[in-house]
């Protein structure tokens, strides 16, 4: 039997109801090539990569267009959450070579609020939805901390 909360939601339903996953849904609907009737679980399946599946993917490889779209959706969702939290425009910038190595930055004003070196992007994914949310929360916290520490630069 599933562990339900007072609203009758199980753990996965509570997770999918968070701001992050609701924004992921919006990003996927607008950029990810999924339709309105698709379930959240189905939309997010391409982001899930078990350790076994990850081992099956060669260490060296070029990222597909679908993988790059998922990467952009993930970081776009974080940028939108930054905007919601601080009220300043957050711009995700991706610089990637054809082999899947590069950097993702989210810029707020003149401040690089988040910078992330990316490697092996063709293997981009998360073991489960909880880990995906944890990673997004961690990146969001780093960005908001930098904005708080350097508010003048972020406001330029």
Q: What is the pTM of this model?
A: 0.89
pLDDT tens track for 135-152:
999 999 999 999 999 999
pLDDT tens track for 115-125:
999 998 888 99
Convert 21-43 to b/e letters by CB count within 10 Å (16 or more is b): bebbbebbeeebebeeeeebeeb
Domains, the chain, in order of start with CATH, read 11-154 (1.10.3100.20)
């Amino acid at each position: 039997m599933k562990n339900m909360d007072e609203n009758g939601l199980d753990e996965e339903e509570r997770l999918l109801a968070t701001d992050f996953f609701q924004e992921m849904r919006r990003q996927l609907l607008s950029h990810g090539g999924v339709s309105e009737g698709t379930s959240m679980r189905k939309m997010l399946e391409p982001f899930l990569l078990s350790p076994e599946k990850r081992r099956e993917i060669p260490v060296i490889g070029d990222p597909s267009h679908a993988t790059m779209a998922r990467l952009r959706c993930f970081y776009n969702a974080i940028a939108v959450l930054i905007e919601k939290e601080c009220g300043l425009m957050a711009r995700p910038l991706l610089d990637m070579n054809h082999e899947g190595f590069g950097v993702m930055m989210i810029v707020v004003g003149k401040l690089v609020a988040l910078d992330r070196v990316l490697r092996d992007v063709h293997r981009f994914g998360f073991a489960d939805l909880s880990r995906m949310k944890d990673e997004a929360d961690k990146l969001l916290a780093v960005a908001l901390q930098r904005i708080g520490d350097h508010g003048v630069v972020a406001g330029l």
